[in-house]
């Protein structure tokens, strides 16, 4: 693959739980995150990724998600050029919620996408 090519995962192929070895990087804006996100996801808004790239574990299996898949694709391409092997989540959080996966708020209650 070239530096700009990144893998893409359908929602069925994305884990439901995340830990130090598997990261779901949510690159949506703060207001989107606060409305609802996947439990255990790491939140770094798209515009903050270059400044905060050191917070992303280069050794983890890295899934990148946004609302529908466009912003995460661009972030994944950026990360790929910087030594990461990201996987873009096709359909984003819309697909996550559409698959019946839980969406929560920071307080732990049910969230929305």
Can you give the pLDDT of all 113 residues of the chain as single tens digits?
555 679 999 999 999 999 989 999 999 999 999 999 999 999 999 999 999 999 999 999 999 999 999 999 999 999 999 999 999 999 999 999 999 999 999 999 999 99
Global pTM? 0.95
Which domains does the chain possess? 7-98 (3.40.250.10)
Annotated catalytic residues are 66
Q: Cβ neighbours of residue 112 under 8 Å, at least 6 residues apart?
A: 35, 36, 97, 103
């Amino acid at each position: 693959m070239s530096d700009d090519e990144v893998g893409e995962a359908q929602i069925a192929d994305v884990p439901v739980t995340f830990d130090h070895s598997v990261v779901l990087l949510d690159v949506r804006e703060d207001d989107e995150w606060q409305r609802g996100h996947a439990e255990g996801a790491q939140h770094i808004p798209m515009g903050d990724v270059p400044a905060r790239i050191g917070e992303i574990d280069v050794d983890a299996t890295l899934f990148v998600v946004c609302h529908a898949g466009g912003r995460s694709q661009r972030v994944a391409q950026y990360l790929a050029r910087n030594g990461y092997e990201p996987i873009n989540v096709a359909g984003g959080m819309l697909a996550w919620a559409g698959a019946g996966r839980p969406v929560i708020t920071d307080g732990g209650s049910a969230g929305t996408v």
